[in-house]
């Protein structure tokens, strides 16, 4: 497989995978392009490489910056903005976990805590409702705790844990 074909295939696949961790396909493709680019890229270079509009590129670059997985880079003497993605894959996984926790898990935990305050209705229905939402709340807190440990972990801890799980 030629380099350009492999690059295009990776970008398409990463874009599709991105939707599984909470970003849209174009955002994933931009991230993939920045991951495999040796040098930071301008918006124009991203637009040309991915054949997307300026608005699409700008909106998704801002989204990637909001996720904390792409940063703006300034080049002396250049008026254009350039962007790069971090190359540490474990740090990328940690940052995605942080953001998913903030965007998804924390709001669910707040709702599950809030709905425990129900008071009017059939006592049997209320008891069942509280039991089920309580179990979901406990499970969500366990997931949150595991994510928190992963986010705060160092590389050695994470790989040691994976190795113990594989034994």
**Same domain for 81 and 15:** yes
CA distance 15 to 36: 13
| Boundary of a domain, candidates 62, 85, 108 | 85
Q: What is the pLDDT of residue 161?
A: 62
| SS3 assignment, position 83 | strand
| Boundary of a domain, candidates 85, 107, 139 | 85
**Same domain for 42 and 21:** yes
CATH assignment of the domain containing 36: 1.10.10.10
The whole-angstrom distance between residue 149's C-alpha and the CA centroid of its chain comes to 17
| Boundary of a domain, candidates 85, 113, 140 | 85
Check pLDDT > 90 for residue 85: yes
Q: How confident is the model at residue 30 (pLDDT cuts 50, 70, 90)?
A: very high
* Domain ranges, residue 74: 3-85
**Same domain for 70 and 114:** no
The whole-angstrom distance between residue 108's C-alpha and the CA centroid of its chain comes to 17
**Same domain for 62 and 100:** no
Burial of 9 (0-12, 13-18, 19+ CB in 10 A): exposed
Q: What is the pLDDT of residue 138?
A: 94
Domain count, the chain: 2
Check pLDDT > 70 for residue 32: yes
Q: What is the pLDDT of residue 108?
A: 93
**Same domain for 80 and 30:** yes
**Same domain for 98 and 42:** no
**Same domain for 152 and 128:** yes
CA distance 113 to 109: 6
**Same domain for 78 and 34:** yes
**Same domain for 102 and 68:** no
Q: In the chain, at which residue ranges do the beta strands (DSSP E only) sit?
A: 41-42, 70-73, 82-85
**Same domain for 121 and 64:** no
Tell me what the mean pLDDT of segment 18-30 comes to: 88
Of residues 121 and 30, the one with the higher pLDDT is 30
Check pLDDT > 90 for residue 26: yes
**Same domain for 149 and 114:** yes
% of the chain exceeding 70 in pLDDT: 92
CA distance 18 to 14: 6
Of the listed ranges 15-19, 73-77, 119-123, 141-145, the least confidently predicted one is: 119-123
**Same domain for 12 and 71:** yes
């Amino acid at each position: 497989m030629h380099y350009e074909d492999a690059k295009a295939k990776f970008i398409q696949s990463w874009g599709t995978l991105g939707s599984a961790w909470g970003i849209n396909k174009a955002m994933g493709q931009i991230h993939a392009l920045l991951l495999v680019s040796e040098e930071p890229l301008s918006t124009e270079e991203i637009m040309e490489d991915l054949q997307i509009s300026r608005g699409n590129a700008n909106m998704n670059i801002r989204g990637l910056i909001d996720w904390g997985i792409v940063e703006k880079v300034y080049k002396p003497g250049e008026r254009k903005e350039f962007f790069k993605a971090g190359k540490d894959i474990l740090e990328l996984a940690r940052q995605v976990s942080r953001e998913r926790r903030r965007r998804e898990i924390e709001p669910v935990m707040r709702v599950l805590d809030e709905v425990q305050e129900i008071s009017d209705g059939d006592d049997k229905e209320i008891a069942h409702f509280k039991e089920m939402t309580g179990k979901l709340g406990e499970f969500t807190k366990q997931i949150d705790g595991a994510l928190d440990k992963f986010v705060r972990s160092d590389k050695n801890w994470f790989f040691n844990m994976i190795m113990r799980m594989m034994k």
